[in-house]
Amino acid sequence: MSGPQAPEPTLEGQADASAGSPDEDAAEGIQHSHRMLSFSDALLSIIATVMILPVTHTEISPEQEFDKSVQRLLATRIAVYLMTFLIVTVAWAAHTRLFQVVGKIDDTLALLNLACMMTITFLPFTFSLMVTFPEVPLGIFLFCMCVIAIGAVQALIVLYAFHFPHLLSPQIERSAHRGLYRQRVLGIIVRGPALCLAAAGFSLFFYPASYLLMAMVIVLPHVSKAAGWCRAQLVGPREPPAHSVEVFTFDLHEPLSKERVEAFSDGVYAIVATLLILDICEDNVPDAKDVKEKFQGSLVAALGESGPHFLAYFGSFATVGLLWFAHHSLFLHIRRATQPMGLLNTLSLAFVGGLPLAYQQTSAFTKQPRDELESVRISCAIIFLASIFQFAIWTTALLQEGETLQPSARFGGREHAFMFAKLALYPCASLLAFACTCVLSSFSTAIFHAMQIAVPFAFLLLRLLVRLALAGLRALQGLVGPVLAWPAPGAADEAQSPLLPAPC
Amino acid sequence: MSGPQAPEPTLEGQADASAGSPDEDAAEGIQHSHRMLSFSDALLSIIATVMILPVTHTEISPEQEFDKSVQRLLATRIAVYLMTFLIVTVAWAAHTRLFQVVGKIDDTLALLNLACMMTITFLPFTFSLMVTFPEVPLGIFLFCMCVIAIGAVQALIVLYAFHFPHLLSPQIERSAHRGLYRQRVLGIIVRGPALCLAAAGFSLFFYPASYLLMAMVIVLPHVSKAAGWCRAQLVGPREPPAHSVEVFTFDLHEPLSKERVEAFSDGVYAIVATLLILDICEDNVPDAKDVKEKFQGSLVAALGESGPHFLAYFGSFATVGLLWFAHHSLFLHIRRATQPMGLLNTLSLAFVGGLPLAYQQTSAFTKQPRDELESVRISCAIIFLASIFQFAIWTTALLQEGETLQPSARFGGREHAFMFAKLALYPCASLLAFACTCVLSSFSTAIFHAMQIAVPFAFLLLRLLVRLALAGLRALQGLVGPVLAWPAPGAADEAQSPLLPAPC
């Protein structure tokens, strides 16, 4: 927690600088890394999310019941998906930190980054292999080799960048302790691969130890963070050695660039929205022969048969779209993302990535009324978890609101009430739908999807309602006494006045 | 072509402004649309590209030969893919232009944009339907309805934004002729849907006319552009009416925001790279039962069987990554993208989107030696087309290099020779591979993939070679006479000197 505010201006300055003076940079073959980072974010977010496809493509024949064995199969695959998501996110976070140190790229770094991406895209495969053959050393071995290869490429990137210091971020480039920085960055990068090397070794004679070591790779940053925090609480903040103050203000544990968190999240939402339409296109274009034989050539009848799928599609797309919208509104009011917020965001995204499963569940089981309520409940649970973690990001941000939030979203700020309503909408709606499945026996997937489609209008209503409520509160306060000033709603109204259209 | 340079500074200014003063904007619930646009770009690029999946998932059993009927099926699906890609790109271009007019968004506009995205994601489905049932009015009708719905939502966005002028781009907001702008923008948006409405009407009694009308939607902008250009060449540029000069300098036909072209391209490359790993994960994790029965429990043997797939994966990923790299280098030196460059970029991306097919071809047919060369040839053709269109972007840019290129990439610029070499590498390599398949009968997919993996090293060698060649030229020139100065290579060397690491 040492100096969490100090590095931020530098990082923002770096982001600003990346917009400027492209002429000079391009001339030297050196580029600010903005576009490469967006590309990497897109790639990593898609990789993290596509692993839901083996889950949704689990074949369940119509005769088969949704029994224990199917549930166990699904549970295993879901666990694989969640773990893969977390692992790729850890790789992404490491990548983010790496390119907070490396500010610019040249051709060699761009190629090294591509090599790094290629190795990361191979992670899901080796992980699937490891889960399918948990006791075979080769699976563990390949997975570890993959992690080690990623670490090696990242170490190469660091060494190369420190060899040509003009590629580093300005703060480090100007620093007198560059050597120390390099040591520290390399240490952080090599830590995970070193554990994996040990795990690969253990896989040959005692494989449970390997799993323990690999679990450590994921929890290590959080554990060391928590340990540091505990120590700070017990014995007071550690006095940094005088000569290296500058080194340790650049805390590599602390900041996740807000821009990159947004880009990664956008990628996840975009691919989730698209996986839905992919299913529609692959399964629901009726076969020309079928239409002739089954429906006497009537395309309308054939399409009518997959009507529920379209309803499910529109409902699911609306849900993904609005969760993105809530995320977008939330991050508009966030100044910087702390590590706990990053973790909550990852968890929220992991469940957003599960939405295609919810869609598949509610559209595949429409013909089995017994399981219908079950699948609606699963969908509600996924949506609830995705949205409650979004809500948790906000509440976590409120704990340190001075650092993390824009003034308008803080307690008493203009947008505070509306933000609360916006983020609470989906948790409440999904709980309501869940309750309905328990109370109403006639509740069906069709009603569920209709509810999903209705939510956008609720969003529009919400602003109206919140404004009315605030106006009511203000009127009430005016009655109680004009001494107690409530600045927020008044300011909001003043801000509204220029919104009225000027006569043109 | 009237005043193509005038609107650009405003657009750039707008992009800069979107980075600044988030505090004020967030407080009013109004946002610069940067993140929403990236999200839309990601969504649209993925939608455009995933339609390759039905092509690659065409089931061809090992016994079946790669005969005429399979070829015809594949050809149809490829045509569907290419058309969908073009249609979605047209929708994307319209979206780009729309948000060049609308500079900021509020909640309502964000929701309207999501509605627009949802309708666009439905386009591929209605298009597949139309192609599967070309003579049934319903298919055409649904497709047209989809286009009309997109137009309606976009018109709503325009009307809303003009109703609250602070949402418009600064240039239009300040303009005295805002009403004229609205008319013009609405006219452009409504044109396509109006044609589709006519097409939907025709579908009921004479469907070929519908197809003609729909084809017009795609070619109309280019035709009107070409007609304008021809007229300008014949009778000289049209004198704009004095009072509306300001209106027509904002030429909606001309600019495609370079940032959004890049974001869209990134999306396509990212999803293509990811489709490859998806196939690996779904098909190549061996079944636990198979390993026990077929391979006597040896996982190594089981994995060895799908070894060629991994080779194919690494080769294909390297190709996608390096094509992205070439694109990245190219756009680094591009200042602004004109319409012909945008069109060439679309064509290049369409073939990049075809790369999963190349991968599928070369990895699926490894067991049928007779078809092996055939599939390598198809892959070469796809790679050649994707890269030659990239090359064409550059040559087109060189035609108007003052407007479109950074100084360093122009004729005689420092990076000119290297850029040429970079962009020419893939067309040459794919031609070479194609030639090999004709000459060497022992050429195999394995060699082809090994070639693909070797290309990155060629990229690194290239810079060295180009530098050596330039140095050689300079030395030669020094011998001929010191009067003829060649500024470029000397400047390049001077630029290199600060790249040497400073002693730290």
Q: From CA B386, how far away is CA B272, in angstroms rounded?
A: 13
CA distance B27 to chain A (A): 5
Q: From CA A279, how far away is CA A277, in angstroms rounded?
A: 5
Q: Can you give the pLDDT at residue A236?
A: 65
Would you say residue A336 has pLDDT above 70?
Answer: yes
Q: From CA A286, how far away is CA B129, in angstroms rounded?
A: 8
Element (H, E) at A79: helix A68-101
Question: Which residues on A lie below 8 Å from B324 (Cβ)?
Answer: 39, 114
Would you say residue B234 has pLDDT above 50?
Answer: yes
Question: Which residues on B lie below 8 Å from A299 (Cβ)?
Answer: 129, 133, 136, 138-139
- CB–CB contact B282 A415 (8 Å): no
> Best of A83, A118, A296, A329 to disrupt the B interface by mutation (most B CBs within 10 Å)?
A118
Mean pLDDT of B483-493: 42
DSSP assignment of B152-164:
HHHHHHHHHHHHS
User: Higher confidence at residue B72 or residue A336?
Assistant: A336
CA dihedral B259, B261, B263, B264 (to 10 degrees): 160
| CB neighbour class for B248 (10 Å; exposed up to 12, middle 13-18, buried from 19) | middle
CB A84 within 8 A of CB A52: no
Q: Can you give the pLDDT at residue A18?
A: 38
Q: From CA A351, how far away is CA A482, in angstroms rounded?
A: 47
Q: From CA B440, how far away is CA B284, in angstroms rounded?
A: 30
Entry pTM: 0.79
> Best of A122, A274, A328, A419 to disrupt the B interface by mutation (most B CBs within 10 Å)?
A274
Q: Who contacts B155 (Cβ-Cβ below 8 Å, separation ≥6)?
A: B186, B189, B190
Q: From CA A28, how far away is CA B407, in angstroms rounded?
A: 12
- CB–CB contact A321 B460 (8 Å): no
Return the beta strands (E) in A303-457 as ranges.
none
Query: How many CA atoms within 13 Å lie on the side-chain side of A321?
Result: 29
- Return phi, psi of residue A102, to 5°: -90, 110
Q: What is the pLDDT of residues A13-47, one digit of tens each?
A: 333 333 334 444 444 566 667 888 888 888 888 88
Q: Which of B29, B276, B407 sits opposite A415 (nearest CB)?
A: B29
Among the residue ranges A321-325, A332-336, A481-485, B70-74, the one predicted with the least confidence is A481-485
Q: What is the DSSP letter of B32?
A: E
> Best of B141, B281, B459 to disrupt the A interface by mutation (most A CBs within 10 Å)?
B281
Neighbours of B105 (CB within 10 A): 25
Q: Can you give the pLDDT at residue A486?
A: 45
Of all residues in chain A, the one with the smallest CA distance to B58 is A282
Q: Quick one: tokens of B83?
A: 């058309």
Mean pLDDT of A218-244: 67
Q: Can you give the pLDDT at residue B62?
A: 54
Q: What is the DSSP letter of B102?
A: B
- CB–CB contact B128 A281 (8 Å): yes
State whether residue B2 is helix, strand or coil: coil
- State the pLDDT confidence band at B238, using cuts at 50, 70 and 90: low
- CB–CB contact A138 B263 (8 Å): no
Q: From CA A173, how far away is CA A168, in angstroms rounded?
A: 6
User: Higher confidence at residue B206 or residue A370?
Assistant: B206
| CB neighbour class for A140 (10 Å; exposed up to 12, middle 13-18, buried from 19) | buried
Q: Who contacts A168 (Cβ-Cβ below 8 Å, separation ≥6)?
A: A101, A102, A103, A104, A161, A162, A178
What rounded mean pLDDT belongs to chain B?
76
Among the residue ranges A16-20, A28-32, A96-100, B440-444, the one predicted with the least confidence is A16-20
Question: Which residues on B lie below 8 Å from A277 (Cβ)?
Answer: 47, 50, 121-122, 124-125
Question: Which residues on B lie below 8 Å from A498 (Cβ)?
Answer: 166
Would you say residue A366 has pLDDT above 70?
Answer: no
Nearest residue to A87 via CA among A138, A35, A48, A132: A48
Would you say residue B55 has pLDDT above 80?
Answer: no
- State the pLDDT confidence band at A8, using cuts at 50, 70 and 90: very low
Mean pLDDT of B49-77: 69
Mean pLDDT of B307-323: 85
Mean pLDDT of A78-100: 83
What is the share, in percent, of chain B residues with pLDDT greater than 70? Answer: 78
Beta-sheet pairing, B31-32 with B104-105: antiparallel
CA distance B200 to chain A (A): 16
User: Higher confidence at residue A188 or residue B64?
Assistant: A188
Provide the residue count of chain A: 504
Q: Can you give the pLDDT at residue A153?
A: 92
Question: Which residues on A lie below 8 Å from B314 (Cβ)?
Answer: 118
> Best of B114, B257, B349, B418 to disrupt the A interface by mutation (most A CBs within 10 Å)?
B114
Mean pLDDT of B312-320: 86
Q: Can you give the pLDDT at residue A152?
A: 92
CA distance B267 to chain A (A): 7
- CB–CB contact B318 A138 (8 Å): no
Question: Which residues on B lie below 8 Å from A267 (Cβ)?
Answer: 42, 270
Nearest residue to A500 via CA among B168, B159, B166, B106: B166
Would you say residue A394 has pLDDT above 50?
Answer: yes
CB B41 within 8 A of CB B120: no
Q: What is the pLDDT of residues B170-197, one digit of tens each?
A: 878 787 788 888 888 888 888 888 888 8
- CB–CB contact A299 B133 (8 Å): yes
Radius of gyration for chain A, computed over Cα atoms and rounded to the nearest angstrom:
26
- State the pLDDT confidence band at A333, using cuts at 50, 70 and 90: confident
Question: Which residues on B lie below 8 Å from A282 (Cβ)?
Answer: 53-54, 57
State whether residue B130 is helix, strand or coil: helix
CB A140 within 8 A of CB A210: yes
CA distance B478 to chain A (A): 24
- CB–CB contact A133 B57 (8 Å): no
Q: Quick one: tokens of A38?
A: 């967006």
CA distance B436 to chain A (A): 27
Would you say residue A385 has pLDDT above 90?
Answer: yes
> Best of A18, A39, A300 to disrupt the B interface by mutation (most B CBs within 10 Å)?
A39
- Return phi, psi of residue B203, to 5°: -60, -25
Q: What is the DSSP letter of A176?
A: T
State whether residue B74 is helix, strand or coil: helix
Mean pLDDT of B290-313: 78
Of all residues in chain A, the one with the smallest CA distance to B502 is A165
Would you say residue A275 has pLDDT above 90?
Answer: no
Beta-sheet pairing, A104-105 with B31-32: unpaired
User: Higher confidence at residue A266 or residue A64?
Assistant: A266
Would you say residue A7 has pLDDT above 60?
Answer: no
Q: Who contacts A434 (Cβ-Cβ below 8 Å, separation ≥6)?
A: A377, A380, A381, A384
Among the residue ranges A247-256, B87-96, B270-279, B341-350, the one predicted with the least confidence is A247-256
Q: Can you give the pLDDT at residue A504?
A: 34
Q: Which of B19, B163, B502 sits opposite A501 (nearest CB)?
A: B163
CA distance B370 to chain A (A): 30
Q: Can you give the pLDDT at residue B31?
A: 67
Q: From CA A464, how far away is CA A447, in angstroms rounded?
A: 26
Nearest residue to A272 via CA among B271, B261, B52: B271
Distance from the Cα of residue B159 to its chain's centroid: 30
- CB–CB contact A504 B274 (8 Å): no
Element (H, E) at A388: helix A369-399
User: Higher confidence at residue A425 or residue B466?
Assistant: A425
CB A328 within 8 A of CB B37: no
Query: In Å, how far are A150, B152, B160, B286, B303 from A129, measured between CA atoms?
Result: 18, 49, 53, 8, 10
Q: What is the pLDDT of residues A111-161, one digit of tens each?
A: 889 889 888 888 888 888 887 777 778 888 888 889 899 999 999 999 998
Residue A32, beta-bridge partner list = A104
Q: Can you give the pLDDT at residue A29?
A: 60
Q: From CA A229, how far away is CA B38, in angstroms rounded?
A: 37
Of all residues in chain A, the one with the smallest CA distance to B461 is A108
Q: Which of A110, A121, A284 sits opposite B317 (nearest CB)?
A: A121
Mean pLDDT of B82-96: 84
**Interface size, chain A vs chain B, as Cβ–Cβ contacts under 8 Å:** 252
- CB–CB contact A27 B498 (8 Å): no
CA distance B270 to chain A (A): 5
Query: In Å, how far are A135, A433, B214, B216, B218 from B202, measured between CA atoms?
Result: 65, 44, 11, 14, 18
CA distance A319 to chain B (A): 11
- CB–CB contact A414 B43 (8 Å): no
Nearest residue to B363 via CA among B374, B352, B372, B354: B372
Would you say residue B163 has pLDDT above 50?
Answer: yes
Question: Which residues on B lie below 8 Å from A129 (Cβ)?
Answer: 285, 299, 303
Q: Can you give the pLDDT at residue A28?
A: 53
CA distance A237 to chain B (A): 31
Would you say residue A6 has pLDDT above 80?
Answer: no
- State the pLDDT confidence band at B126, using cuts at 50, 70 and 90: confident
What rounded mean pLDDT belongs to chain A?
75
CB B186 within 8 A of CB B180: no
Q: Is A128 left (phi over 0), alpha (psi -120 to 50) or beta?
A: alpha
CA distance A223 to chain B (A): 32
User: Higher confidence at residue B219 or residue A138?
Assistant: A138
Q: Quick one: tokens of B233?
A: 């060449």
- CB–CB contact B266 A166 (8 Å): no
Among the residue ranges A366-370, B73-77, B310-314, B382-386, the one predicted with the least confidence is A366-370
- CB–CB contact A501 B165 (8 Å): yes
Q: Can you give the pLDDT at residue A141?
A: 86
Question: Which residues on A lie below 8 Å from B281 (Cβ)?
Answer: 50-51, 54, 124-125, 128
Neighbours of B283 (CB within 10 A): 12
Q: Which of B179, B325, B495 sits opposite A27 (nearest CB)?
A: B495
Q: Can you give the pLDDT at residue A237?
A: 57
> Best of A281, A314, A325 to disrupt the B interface by mutation (most B CBs within 10 Å)?
A281
Of all residues in chain A, the one with the smallest CA distance to B166 is A499
Q: What is the pLDDT of residues B318-376, one digit of tens each?
A: 889 999 989 988 888 888 888 788 889 989 999 998 888 777 776 655 455 556 777 78
- CB–CB contact B415 A325 (8 Å): no
CA distance B331 to chain A (A): 10
Q: Which of B114, B262, B277 sits opposite A121 (nearest CB)?
A: B277
User: Higher confidence at residue A240 or residue B284?
Assistant: B284
Among the residue ranges A288-297, B11-20, B239-248, the one predicted with the least confidence is B11-20
Q: From CA A91, how far away is CA A83, in angstroms rounded?
A: 12
Distance from the Cα of residue A252 to its chain's centroid: 20
Question: Which residues on B lie below 8 Å from A165 (Cβ)?
Answer: 501-502, 504
Question: Which residues on A lie below 8 Å from B300 (Cβ)?
Answer: 138
Q: From CA B451, how far away is CA B429, in angstroms rounded?
A: 9
Would you say residue A97 has pLDDT above 90?
Answer: no
Would you say residue B44 has pLDDT above 70?
Answer: yes
Distance from the Cα of residue A31 to its chain's centroid: 27
